[in-house]
Amino acid sequence: MSEKSVPAKLALAPGQVWHTSTGGLAMVDRKLKTVNSWRCYMIGNKAASFVVYHTGRFTRGTVTRRHLVKRAVILYISGPMTGLPESNYPAFNEAAARYRALGNAVVNPVEVCAHLRDKPNVTWLEYMQPCMAALLSCEAVVMLPGWTKSKGARLEHHTARELGFAIVYPTNERE
């Protein structure tokens, strides 16, 4: 897919993930009171926030609208499943739908392991193997609430962190 700078009239939306021309990933946080201005923040190893103005000016950062590059960012959804009602599938599916609606490519473990649902006596390892393989094809991980209490989500988080993936924490739950 070819990389293109963001056209001035393209509407940004909260939750969109953009590649930057500096090689990082940025997530749109919220629209500001100023016309067509958005607060964004870098995800991954850089924790800088910045404001994108409709004119291309910026504050608190080194990225402007012309540095945002729309290319499909592949997000992996990670969170707790074991022992939760409906294995927490509704939360995974809701997060996947929300990020897909924002133009991101999403890998949802519920979909990755759909072939295992009807098999009897499937072990935790048998679920984790295809999930970990799918994680390796992604660029960023979205952690769902409660991930710190899940052995599988902690393993996915550790793997993503060690591989230098961007990690998005939609809640205040961090390590």
pLDDT digits (tens, 9 = 90+) for 127-148: 999 999 999 989 889 999 999 9
Residue type, 99: Y
Residue 24 lies in a domain: yes
Quote the pTM value: 0.68
Q: Is residue 4 part of a domain?
A: no
Q: Give the best-scoring range by mean pLDDT among 29-33, 42-46, 116-120.
A: 116-120
Beta bridge partners of 50: 40
Question: Total structural domains in the chain?
Answer: 2
Residue 9 within a domain: no
C-alpha 52/C-alpha 64 separation (Å) is 6
The CA distances from residue 105 to 40, 123, 135, in Å, are 19, 28, 13
In a domain, 12, yes or no: no
Residue among 58, 54, 7, 132 at smallest CA distance from 42: 58
Domain shared by 82 and 164, yes or no: yes
**CATH number, residue 103:** 3.40.50.10400
Residue 94 shares a structural domain with residue 145: yes
Residues 6+ away with beta carbon under 8 Å from 111: 96
Residue 89's domain comprises: 74-168
Mean pLDDT value across residues 155-174: 82
- What is the mean pLDDT of the segment spanning 50-58? 43
Residue 105 lies in a domain: yes
Nearest 5°: phi and psi at 31?
-80, 140
SS3 call for 120: coil
Would you say residue 150 has pLDDT above 90? yes
Q: Are residues 115 and 158 in the same domain?
A: yes
pLDDT for residue 112: 94
Are 82 and 140 in the same domain? yes
Does 130 share its domain with 44?
no
Residue 74: the pLDDT is 86
Going by C-beta distance under 8 Å and a sequence separation of 6 or more, which residues neighbour residue 84? 146
